[in-house]
Amino acid sequence: MGKALIIGAGGVANVVVHKCCQNPEVFEEICIASRTKSKCDAMKAVLDGGKTKITTAQIDADDTEALIELINDYKPDMVINVALPYQDLTIMDACLATGVHYLDTANYEPLDIPKFEYKWQWAYKEKFEKAGLTAILGSGFDPGVTGVYSAYAMKHYFDEIHTIDILDANAGDHGYPFATNFNPEINIREITAKGRYWEEGDWIETEPLEIKRVYNFPQIGDKDMYLLYHEELESLAQNIKGLKKIRFFMTFSERYITHLNVLENVGMTSIKPIMYQGMEIQPLQFLKAVLPDPASLGPRTKGKTNIGCIFTGVKDGQPKTYYVYNVCDHEACYAEVGSQAISYTTGVPAMIGAKLLLEGKWKKPGVYNVEEMDPDPFMEELSKQGLPWVEDFNPVLVD
């Protein structure tokens, strides 16, 4: 049916590639292109010989002209962008120039200031509409599945959703004193930023990790979780009509927070470049270089993740609550695709979004966040492709 160009060759890309190969009737051909071609070749070596035809290429995705050349040469139907958020706009520009659909899992980030804002990508809406092309933003887990859960709750269970709490728990243990389970730079930028949530049309800012709750997660147990700003809050606050409040919580262990505090206190999490022996270096990028590669955590990580959304609102004049979540086991993910659950829970939804786009079910010209698409085919695919969901109509609410 289709041909996809996958950009990036990290933990998430590895899952996308495996999952595309598990769906060869849709992904007849894929090209894995990234900065370091040997990583693409290594993935190809594992999966070659199946029904999906795999090729690889070297690409600097910061370079729009090089991207245009690659796309014109390979002629894919769509690009699945699982490189870093810094490359979103150059890849979108290249898609527009070549007439190819686009999908990613994280909003565009300027290199110098962490923003977590959609404005740059939403500005492309008209261009994609005019070109008759679809761009799907944030088709990972959060953002991604959390948006699909929200659209599903709205479509099937509520007349009005008043509050959404997104709860992201990772009870995985990799045995290292400190490591981040996806790109450390993005992860640390996210956590050291001020917290923020949305209530009655206003953004309320908190100090980093100021708001802490303990929640008893199904299949995981009690965990400390902290209120963070997360990019899907921006799109959901706009797209779920009638919403009054939306928050995002993520779990971190005490050990993780202690390490982070120390690193922050000594200046290692700063993104402001410093001069070192005549060379300009960014402390956070240097830290990334000395931390374990997230891809190397896979074989060592045990335990589960639980990510979901708790909704409150009204149906037929009656108050209603609804909790929908997925539990994913790190070791089971590793056994299946050679990546841990964080990469798995991001890569599977990226493949599903791409599959629905290629099948025409999620094809509509413009730039869209996932909650603007029909959630039903996506929910159906989640169960089939390894991320089944559980529903609870009487959950404990977060105060």
The residues binding ligand NDP (CB under 6 A) are 8-13, 34-36, 39, 59-62, 82-85, 87, 105-106, 138, 140-144, 182-183, 186, 294-295, 343, 346
193 three-class SS:
coil
Which tokens go with 53? Answer: 């035809």
Task: Give me the least distance between CB of 172 and ligand NDP, in Å please.
Answer: 13
For β-strands 279-281 and 274-276, DSSP reports them as antiparallel
Cβ closest to ligand NDP, residue 66 vs residue 220 = 66
Which tokens hold the place of 255? Answer: 């050990």
Q: With respect to ligand NDP, which residue has the nearer C-beta, 61 or 103?
A: 61
Q: Which is nearer to ligand NDP, 149 or 158 (CB)?
A: 149
**Smaller CB distance to ligand NDP: residue 131 or 387?**
387
CA distance 390 to 384: 14
CA angle, 357 as apex, 339 and 309 as ends, to 5°? 60
Q: What six digits make up the tokens of 190? A: 């996210």
The DSSP-derived string for 85-139 is: GGGHHHHHHHHHHHT-EEEESS----SSS-----HHHHTTHHHHHHHT-EEEE--
| Nearest distance from C-beta of residue 253 to ligand NDP, angstroms | 19
Residue-level length of the chain: 399
Q: Which is nearer to ligand NDP, 35 or 125 (CB)?
A: 35
> What is the closest distance, in whole angstroms, from the C-beta atom of residue 369 to ligand NDP in the complex?
11
Residue 142 or 381 with smaller CB distance to ligand NDP: 142
Closest residue to ligand NDP using C-beta atoms:
10
For residue 19, the minimal CB distance to ligand NDP (Å) is: 14
The answer to whether 294 and 182 have CB atoms below 8 angstroms apart is yes
| Residue whose C-alpha is closest to residue 149's, from 255, 308, 331 | 308
Q: Minimum CB separation from ligand NDP for residue 84, in Å?
A: 5
Alpha-carbon distance of 329 to 109, in angstroms, equals: 30
Smallest gap from Cβ 33 to ligand NDP, in A, equals: 7
CB atoms within 10 A of CB 25: 11
